[in-house]
Amino acid sequence: GPRVVIVGAGIVGCALADELTARGWTRVTVLDQGEPVRTGGSTSHAPGLVFQTTGHPTMTRFARATATKYGALRLDGRACFKPVGGLEVAATRERLTDLRRRHGWATAAGIESHLLDPGECAALHPLIDRDVVLGGLHIPSDGLAVPLGAAEAQARAATARGATFRHGVRVTGMDVRGGRVRGVETSEGRVEADVVVSAAGMWGPLLGAMAGVGVPLSPMAHQYAWTTPLRELDLLQKLRGLVDPGGAVFPMLRHQDADLYFREHGDRLGVGAYGHRAMPADPTGLDRSGPDRGDMPSERAFTELDFEPSWAAAQALLPALGDAKVERGVNGLFSFTPDGMPLLGETSVRGFWLAEAVWITHSAGVAQAVASWMVDGVPSLPALDGSSDPDPVDVSAAHHDRFDPALLAPSTVRSRACTAFDEVYDIAHPQGLSTSSRPLRAGPFDARHRELGAVVAERDGWAVPAWFADNADLPEVCEVRPRREWAGRHWSPVAGAESLVVRRAVALVDLTASHRLEVTGPGALGLLQQLATVDLDRPVGSRTRALCLDAAGRIRADLDVARLGEERFAVAVATRLEARWLAEHVLGDVAVRDVSSGTCAIGVWGPASGVLLSRLTDPASRASTVATAAETHVGPVPVLALRGTPIGVDGVELRTTSDLGAALWDVLWDAGATLGVVAAGARAVTSLAVESGLRTLGSGVDASLTPAEAGLAHLVDPDKGPFLGREAVLAGGTPSRRLVTLALEDPGEVVVGDEPVLAGDDCIGRVAVAEASATEDVSLALAVVPAALSDAGTALSVEYFGRRLPGRVVDREVR
Ligand code: FAD
């Protein structure tokens, strides 16, 4: 294997060294500026609670993999994980309901969990005042990792396979030449390397800067305190037969309504608080000493005043704390990113990887995914059923390059990290619209959107209208079924009405937030042919949809390709990472230019779109618009006109430069007035996409699926000649799992995503995306299920807040 340098010997660096050496990359050197084991980083004082269940399936898988690995790990005969279980309690109705949703997440991830009443909570954790709680969720396989033990055990395993750990060595520079990392400069001299991984935790931005790579995280202080000994706890522990003096017998506790968590340290409790003000720290000041500093770089002096409200809430939940005191506390620093997710993957500097902003909870799973990504090119986790084939995992949501540059100003990163800190234990809605500030990126239609009362969401830093308040007067609103409770939040029947107008008349849809690329040069066709699953050597004026696969045959991009000339293509993709996939594969005489920011796109969708456009196109130039992709004029505005819509209605997509966007909007709006044109928002588009059977990356499809599994085999032509992933397609055989569409029996029930899908009582999948269709009055959900249960007519149900909603697999068109 190549020579690898890992910067950082915290739990992430140690886990990664273990996983890389286990995969045969044994020339690994781990450098850390701190002392052995207790390096002074965040791992040095983390209490190690591992609550596995989150709303994000990949993160839950990372956590499960971590609990599994540490559960089997020993250091000098001592366990590195104590499966004491986790108990989350609810003190409010809203939280109680949310625990049912979390129960669903656990079920969907294959994690056993139980909803408890207050008496059962108190029986499980006798310090709880049962009158304070309304109920709880118990997850028996959660537990306490021993962070430094697990780190050291993994470091030893790596060392035994040939890795070297060097402590007291500070990395001071990165040798980057020809776009590739060649080694690192350190306080002890130069170390050659073919691959460098920054596992430097909250120092990440400094390491990134050495290589010219932005690392969007902020160190944040988090308060953790140890109580004085509790006699009641001591007695209870003795009754339960606790022998280990520093140990724990009762489940870890989360009291999220008060932003608190608890664990035992022998007869003391450890109390963690997220309720205090956000306290970001400057990465450049981490190693400085000062009066506010603790014993280690990751410690700041405990600010007692900040802890007082948390302590009062802790005493209210656990009356045994009434006589206790805070013996000591720490403001411990660790990394927060703008969205709370890790930063993983290879950077634009070849050979320079990041594994940052990772909790103890996810450390082993992340290390397995990153190591397999480095060694095999595809991130994967050991199969849950223990079979030998590793299981590919979609890491897009944790990819370090997921943020648009408009979100990367240090002040933006810091303020969003603060928001992420404040919201750690909040009940988050997956379709939540509220952003603390108006998005920075505004397209040329923004002023028009405001006039129409746009309710705005943020995507990739863009202000994207979700629906338009002005459309509340549309007669179609009365035809839309109201939605109850959770599904009704951050939603409006107006969105349904807008989707009806698209089906019946014509609407303008802002498509600017997608990514537009120009692929040009003598090598343009060659690049696209090498990546695309269908033949793109088609006539000028054609528009083609094609997938891109990785070597393992998993879907990595979904391309909309218009050929504008022999050596000139206009390509659109939905997400930043898809655009990156193309750019990463550029070789030779081809330029890929992202023109998203300087251009705009508008969909004119609906059966009346043809009439609308005929009012704006010259008869002479209409001939050219017969072609599927044509550079023409709409009114006075030069546009690229692309015939067709992704959702199976008539329409065109018009692209032009940003300076002409407002003019384009206005001519379309005026010409459409007598046709009843409206603006339709992103929620209408989602609903139209689901009802029309559209399956794209991020909405139903994820990067762990093959085309056959996703039902998109019709977009793959293995006979076209060589392309990346073709061998995997040919070797694929029949898939063992499939993405299917379920129709719920009651069209009035709408689910939002991530709910478990059940066959009888067995959980066999989770909802990937769901929406109700206003056009058809049907409630749909897409889910990956075992192939044996994928036939049309198969009865399956969706668990939603503890209820079972019956449904059936339906045979619908897939596009
Ligand atoms: P670190 O442990 O910080 O390791 C990074 C290493 O990089 C350090 O050892 C540092 O010395 C080294 N380094 C940095 N720069 C250089 C350089 N230039 N040259 C050489 N070496 C360098 N997580 C949970 O999952 N559960 C919990 O209950 C939990 N509780 C927490 C409680 C507190 C009070 C805190 C502060 C954090 C808690 N966390 C918890 C979070 C968890 O501690 C961190 O996410 C995790 O330890 C990060 O590990 P790491 O290896 O990435 O970083």
Taking only the tens place, the pLDDT of each residue in 596-617 is 999 999 999 999 999 999 999 8
Q: Is 558 a catalytic residue?
A: yes
CA dist., res. 115 & res. 107, Å (int):
12
pLDDT confidence bin for 622, thresholds 50/70/90: low
Cβ-contact 574, 686 below 8 angstroms? no
Q: Report the pLDDT averaged over residues 353-364.
A: 98
User: Contact at 8 Å (CB) between 717 and 535?
Assistant: yes
Tell me the percentage of the chain whose pLDDT exceeds 70: 98
CB distance 49 to ligand 1 below 6 Å: yes
Instruction: Show the tokens assigned to 617.
Output: 């196109």
For residue 147, give the ligand 1 atom closest to its CA.
Answer: 47
> How far apart are the CA of 332 and the centre of ligand 1, in A?
10
Q: Hey, which of 154, 360, 400 would you mutate to test ligand 1's pocket, going by the most ligand atoms within 8 Å of its Cβ?
A: 360
CB atoms within 10 A of CB 638: 12
> How many angstroms does the Cα of residue 216 sit away from the middle of ligand 1?
16
pLDDT, one tens digit per residue, over 435-475 is: 666 788 999 999 999 999 999 999 888 999 999 999 999 99
User: Which top CATH class is 515-595+705-732?
Assistant: alpha beta
Q: Find the length of the chain.
A: 815
Whether the per-residue pLDDT at 217 is higher than 90: the answer is: yes
Given 32, 267, 394, 558, which residue is catalytic? 558
Q: Domain 736-815 in CATH: superfamily?
A: Aminomethyltransferase beta-barrel domains (2.40.30.110)
DSSP secondary structure, 51-62, as one string: ----S-HHHHHH
Catalytic residue among 56, 70, 103, 261: 261
Ligand 1 proximity of 358 Cβ (cutoff 6 Å): yes
Q: Is the CB of 223 under 6 A from ligand 1?
A: no
CA distance 616 to 635: 5
Is the CB–ligand 1 distance for residue 353 below 6 Å?
Answer: no
For residue 356, report the distance from its CA to the centre of ligand 1, in Å. Answer: 9
Please indicate whether residue 43, judged by its CB atom, sits closer than 6 Å to ligand 1.
Answer: yes
Q: From ligand 1's centre to the CA of 298, what distance in Å? A: 8
- List residues bridging with 280 in a β-sheet: 220
Measured distance CA(4)–CA(186) in Å, rounded: 15
pLDDT value of position 287: 86
Q: How far is the CA of 386 from the centre of ligand 1 (A)?
A: 30
- Do 693 and 516 meet the contact criterion of CB atoms below 8 Å apart? no
DSSP code at position 551: T
Pick the CATH number of 4-68+148-216+339-398 from 1.10.630.10, 1.20.1250.20, 3.20.20.140, 3.50.50.60: 3.50.50.60
What is the spatial distance between Cα 781 and Cα 695, in angstroms, rounded to a whole number?
Answer: 12
| Radius of gyration for the chain, computed over Cα atoms and rounded to the nearest angstrom | 28
Smallest CA separation from ligand 1 atom 14, residue: 200
Tell whether ipTM is more than 0.90. Answer: yes
- Whether 37 has a pLDDT exceeding 60, the answer reads yes
Q: In this predicted structure, what is the pLDDT of residue 530?
A: 96
- pLDDT above 90: percentage of residues in the chain: 87
The C-alpha atoms of residue 212 and residue 101 are separated, in whole angstroms, by: 42
CB of 359 closer than 6 angstroms to any ligand 1 atom:
yes
Helices (H), 472-592: 485-488, 493-504, 524-531, 576-584
Residue ID of nearest Cα to ligand 1 atom 42: 359
How many other CB atoms are there within 10 angstroms of residue 123's CB atom? Answer: 12
Query: Phi, psi at residue 164, to the nearest 5°?
Result: -120, 135
- Nearest protein Cα to ligand 1, atom 45: 359
User: Quick one: pLDDT band at residue 624, thresholds 50, 70, 90?
Assistant: low
CA of 165 to the centre of ligand 1 (A): 17
Return the ligand 1 atom nearest residue 261 CA. Answer: 28
331 CB under 6 A from ligand 1?
Answer: no
Residue 626 has pLDDT above 70, yes or no: no
The mean pLDDT of 304-329, rounded to a whole number, is 97
Query: Which atom of ligand 1 has the smallest separation from the CA of 200?
Result: 7
Average predicted confidence (pLDDT) for the chain: 94
Is residue 147 very low, low, confident or very high in pLDDT (cuts 50, 70, 90)?
very high
The per-residue pLDDT for 485 is 81
Tell me the per-residue pLDDT of 765-801, one tens digit each, with 9 for 90 and over: 999 999 999 999 999 999 999 999 999 999 999 999 8
| 546, 559 contact by CB (below 8 A) | yes
Question: What is the model's pLDDT at position 359?
Answer: 98
- 654 close to ligand 1 (CB < 6 Angstrom): no
Q: What is the pLDDT of residues 668-697, one digit of tens each?
A: 999 999 999 999 999 999 999 999 999 999
Per-residue model confidence (pLDDT) at position 439: 85
**Could you tell me the two tokens for 322?**
């009434």
- What would the mean pLDDT of 243-249 be, rounded to a whole number? 82
Query: Ligand 1 in contact with 200 (CB < 6 A)?
Result: yes
Query: What separation in Å is there between the alpha carbon of 784 and the centre of ligand 1?
Result: 35
How far, in Å, from the CA of 329 to the mean position of ligand 1?
Answer: 18
Q: Which of 43, 62, 363 to mutate to test the pocket of ligand 1 (most atoms within 8 A of CB)?
A: 43
Of residues 77, 54, 80, the one with CA closest to residue 67: 80
Residue 215: which residues within 8 A CB-CB, separation 6 or more? 198, 204, 205, 207, 208, 209, 343, 354, 356, 400
What is the rounded distance in angstroms from the CA atom of residue 512 to the CA atom of residue 531?
Answer: 25
Asked if residues 13 and 29 have their Cβ atoms less than 8 Å apart, the reply is no
Mean pLDDT of 636-659: 96
The answer to whether the CB of 8 falls within 8 A of the CB of 203 is: yes
362 Cα nearest atom in ligand 1: 25
Provide the H-helix boundaries in 115-198: 118-124, 147-160
| Burial letters 366-405, b for 16+ CB under 10 A, else e | bbbbbbbbbbeebbbbbeeeeeeebebbbbbbbbbbbbbe
Residue with tokens 């379309």: 668
Q: Please tell me the distance between residue 357's alpha carbon and the centre of ligand 1 in angstroms.
A: 8
111 ligand 1 Cβ < 6 A: no
* pLDDT reported for residue 431: 81
Which band of pLDDT confidence, cut at 50, 70 and 90, is reported for residue 126? very high
Q: How many angstroms separate the CA atoms of 252 and 263, rounded? A: 5
Q: Per mean pLDDT, which range of 74-88, 475-489, 516-530, 596-610 is the poorest?
A: 475-489
Give the per-residue pLDDT at 435.
Answer: 62
Q: Of 696, 599, 708, nearest to 654 (Cα)?
A: 599
Coil/strand/helix, residue 532: strand
What is the predicted pLDDT for the residue at 620?
A: 65
Q: Is 329 in the pocket of ligand 1 (CB under 6 A)?
A: no
Looking at the CA of residue 355, tell me the nearest atom of ligand 1.
52
Q: Is 59 in the pocket of ligand 1 (CB under 6 A)?
A: no
CA of 580 to the centre of ligand 1 (A): 29
Indicate the pairing of strand 678-680 with strand 507-510. parallel
**What kind and span of H or E run contains 164?**
strand 164-167
User: pTM of the entire structure?
Assistant: 0.95
Q: Has residue 252 got a pLDDT over 70?
A: yes
- What is the rounded distance in angstroms from the CA atom of residue 144 to the CA atom of residue 49? 5
Compute CA distances 9 → 15, 296, 499, 673, whole Å: 9, 15, 53, 64
Q: Give the per-residue pLDDT at 291.
A: 79
H or E element at residue 355:
strand 352-356
The pLDDT-based confidence of 8 (bands split at 50, 70, 90) is very high
Residue 265: pLDDT over 60: yes
Going by pLDDT thresholds of 50, 70 and 90, the confidence category of residue 243 is confident
Taking each helix axis from N to C terminus, what angle separates 57-71 and 93-108, rounded to the nearest 10 degrees? Answer: 70
pLDDT confidence of residue 436? 61
Query: Residue 664 is inside which H or E element, if any?
Result: helix 661-672
Which ligand 1 atom is nearest residue 330's CA? 34
**Residue nearest to ligand 1 atom 53, measured at CA:** 201
Measured distance CA(651)–CA(507) in Å, rounded: 10
**Structure tokens belonging to residue 40:** 């002074």
Which residue is listed with tokens 């409630």? 779
The C-alpha atoms of residue 206 and residue 208 are separated, in whole angstroms, by: 5
Identical fold for domains 4-68+148-216+339-398 and 86-135+219-335, yes or no, is no
Task: Find tokens 């478990």 and name the residue.
Answer: 756
> Which residues are registered as beta bridge partners of 143?
50
Give the closest residue (by CA) to ligand 1 atom 5: 200
Q: Supply the pLDDT for residue 118.
A: 97
Q: Is the pLDDT of residue 362 over 90?
A: yes
Whole-angstrom Cα distance, residue 453 to residue 153? 58
Q: 146 C-alpha vs ligand 1 centroid, how far in Å?
A: 13
Q: Which position has the higher pLDDT, 415 or 429?
A: 415
| Nearest of 95, 87, 102, 94 to residue 53 by alpha carbon | 102
Given CATH 3.30.9.10, say whether it is the number of domain 86-135+219-335: yes
The residue to mutate among 18, 32, 42, having the most atoms of ligand 1 within 8 angstroms of its beta carbon, is 42
Q: What is the pLDDT of residues 162-180, one digit of tens each?
A: 999 999 999 999 999 999 9
The residue nearest atom 6 of ligand 1, judged by CA position, is 8
- Of these residues, 125, 138, 222, 362, which one is catalytic? 222
Residue in this structure with the two tokens 């080694």, named with its chain if needed:
183
The domain segmentation of the chain, as residue ranges, is 4-68+148-216+339-398, 86-135+219-335, 515-595+705-732, 736-815
Mean pLDDT of 203-229: 97
Instruction: Compute the distance from residue 644 Cα to the ligand 1 centre, in Å.
Output: 50
Give me the pLDDT at residue 608, please.
Answer: 97
Is pLDDT larger for residue 404 or for residue 621?
404
Q: With a 6 A CB cut-off, is 48 part of the ligand 1 pocket? A: yes
